Structure 1
Amino acid sequence: MARGSSQDFSSTRHHSFHWTRKVRSHENHDPKPAPSSSSITPKRKLQSIAVSRLRSVIASLSRNRSALGSRVVGTLFGSRRGHVHFAIQKDPTSPPAFLVELATPISGLVKEMASGLVRIALECDRPKEEDAGGGEKTRMPSRRLVEEPLWRTYCNGKKCGFGARRECGGKETKVLKALEMVSMGAGVLPETEESGAGDVMYMRAKFERVVGSPDSEAFYMMNPDSNGAPELSLYLLRI
């Protein structure tokens, strides 16, 4: 999965608005009364609703970008006999903005990464509704991309089950708390009486976050070697 072709970046369209100046009426002429609300045409009402929705989407996207930023902390972790968990945080001390559990075993992903570059793609469907003709049509998503609950998972182009968004529970919180002082690296957290989940394997790194549209985001692991390609990339796509 190539970096350049894995994202469906939408181009920004610039709309030009024409402003008109209100001219004061001559003193000898009676000013025209302001149009009543009943004179507003249905077409203008629809245009007003469309502009309002567009502003809402742009404002929401701007808030999301500013909240998480373009540099994030990504952590892969899981018990030796368990599944991969992937957490995205603004910084090591903040709660996860995105936490997903994949069907892939952590041991399998470690082997995959040892053999070369890894590209993980998570896909979900846009919401649909019935149109007047009885068919289906897509509609504007009501949730942010990172809030989607279920994902189809692909690793280096091969389908490998599904991923599910998780809330950060007690066990996940303890793992991330234990890794607060780790800026990047890989290792094993030994089993404790509190965890009861066996040794936990982890890998942490900084990721570059690229937002293509409300329906596409990508996270590229930042390699300390500036000449090297990212060893791990994660793509979120709503199609």
Structure 2
Amino acid sequence: MLTLSSQSSTLVSKGGDKKKNQPSLVHQCTLMGKPMPPSSSASSSDDSSKSPIPPAPPPLPLRGTLQQPSEKKKKPKVIRVFRSVFRSFPIITPVCKLPVLQGISLDGQHRYVSGNRVTGTLFGYRKGRVSLSIQESSKCYPSLIVELAIQTNVLQKELGSGMVRIALECEKRPDKDKVRLLDEPLWTMFCNGKKNGYGVKRDPTDGDITVMEILRAVSMGAGVLPGNSEIEVPDGELSYIRAHFDRVVGSKDSETLYMISPEGNNGPELSIFFVRV
């Protein structure tokens, strides 16, 4: 409780005579019975005691630093039609007279005829399902996220074998109901020829964006991120692998992502096929 009292100051001489000074009002602030030093303003003391300034909140993690994917200008229709017709012809070798499939050569190495480069990230908790994120670059928002039908620890074992082929298939629709291939909501997933279940396309969650924000400066690599221990108590760490992928568009019903390994690195080979059958 804050009280305000006033009294006149009195001086006592050596002879015992009391000498009063000019009357002056001395303000003393008493807080719960204890005198406090006088302040310049009682109202300011009152305000400061009743409403103390709260400490500044801790800084929040960086958000909103990802960029929107650039809207690339479409090429003229005549050029696009010409390229689509040109790609439909098989490439014939003069010796064996066999068509060479796009992206595959006889020596087992990938040689890409065309396509653009994107950033792909596979991430997930050890006993949780893996999610695939496709970005124009590591600094952009994900343009596609597919939750795959395989656990993270199982995929890590498959990658340890050196070669992984993931095929995502969906059924064709009538022409009037057709959508862009990567906008299909549901996929049947095969990993190295074995059916695993269904992959689901979904919108990026806050957790997905947080992971992409943390990995914004990572262009290629693999590692472990600390997870939310309150939610994932036994498996609180989140594993990830990020790499550049060559994106090859075969047709409106087929696209392929080929992981690019650093030069001279005998790392795992990973290919992801999107097919409408």
Same fold (TM > 0.5): yes
Question: Residue 228 of structure 1: CA displacement?
Answer: 5.9
Give the superposed CA RMSD: 2.1
Alignment of 1:1-239 (within 5 A): 12-13=84-85, 70-128=116-174, 139=175, 141-192=177-228, 196-197=231-232, 198-225=236-263, 231-239=269-277
Question: Structure 2: which amino acid aligns with 1:234?
Answer: I
Residue aligned with 2:148, SS: strand
Structure 1 unaligned spans of 5+: 1-10, 15-68, 129-138
Aligned residues of 1:73 and 1:92 also touching (Cα < 8 A): yes
Judged with a 3 Å threshold, the aligned counterparts in structure 2 of structure 1 residues 95 and 116 are, in CA distance, closer, same or farther, namely same
Question: Residue 192 of structure 1: CA displacement?
Answer: 3.9
Query: Which 4+ residue blocks in structure 1 deviate beyond 4 angstroms?
Result: 226-230
Question: Residue 142 of structure 1: CA displacement?
Answer: 3.0
Residue aligned with 1:162, SS: strand
Deviation per CA, 1:48-105, whole angstroms, max 9, x where unpaired? Answer: xxxxxxxxxxxxxxxxxxxxx7000000000112101001100112111111001100
Aligned residues of 2:121 and 2:132 also touching (Cα < 8 A): yes
TM-score by length of 1: 0.64
Structure 2 unaligned spans of 5+: 1-82, 87-114
Judged with a 3 Å threshold, the aligned counterparts in structure 2 of structure 1 residues 140 and 211 are, in CA distance, closer, same or farther, namely farther
In 2, Cα distance between equivalents of 1:226 and 1:146: 32
- Partner in structure 2 of residue 24 of structure 1: none
In 2, Cα distance between equivalents of 1:226 and 1:186: 17
Which is higher, the Rg of structure 1 or of structure 2?
Answer: 2
Q: Which has the higher contact order (CA 8 A, sep 6+)?
A: 1
Question: Residue 13 of structure 1: CA displacement?
Answer: 2.7
Residue aligned with 1:107, SS: helix
Question: Residue 141 of structure 1: CA displacement?
Answer: 4.9
In 2, Cα distance between equivalents of 1:147 and 1:230: 28
Question: Residue 226 of structure 1: CA displacement?
Answer: 6.0
Aligned residues of 1:123 and 1:151 also touching (Cα < 8 A): yes
In 2, Cα distance between equivalents of 1:190 and 1:151: 30
Judged with a 3 Å threshold, the aligned counterparts in structure 2 of structure 1 residues 228 and 213 are, in CA distance, closer, same or farther, namely farther
Question: Structure 2: which amino acid aligns with 1:166?
Answer: R
Judged with a 3 Å threshold, the aligned counterparts in structure 2 of structure 1 residues 117 and 102 are, in CA distance, closer, same or farther, namely same
In 1, Cα distance between equivalents of 2:85 and 2:207: 45
Aligned residues of 1:145 and 1:214 also touching (Cα < 8 A): yes
Judged with a 3 Å threshold, the aligned counterparts in structure 2 of structure 1 residues 111 and 227 are, in CA distance, closer, same or farther, namely closer
Aligned residues of 2:161 and 2:268 also touching (Cα < 8 A): no
In 2, Cα distance between equivalents of 1:73 and 1:228: 20
Question: Structure 2: which amino acid aligns with 1:190?
Answer: P
In 2, Cα distance between equivalents of 1:229 and 1:211: 25
Aligned residues of 2:167 and 2:189 also touching (Cα < 8 A): yes
Structure with the larger helix share: 1
Residue aligned with 2:158, SS: helix
In 2, Cα distance between equivalents of 1:162 and 1:85: 12
In 1, Cα distance between equivalents of 2:195 and 2:259: 21
Aligned residues of 2:162 and 2:267 also touching (Cα < 8 A): no
Aligned residues of 1:220 and 1:230 also touching (Cα < 8 A): no
Question: Residue 196 of structure 1: CA displacement?
Answer: 3.7
In 2, Cα distance between equivalents of 1:230 and 1:188: 18
Deviation per CA, 1:94-132, whole angstroms, max 9, x where unpaired? Answer: 11111100110010000000012001000001114xxxx
Structure with the larger strand share: 2
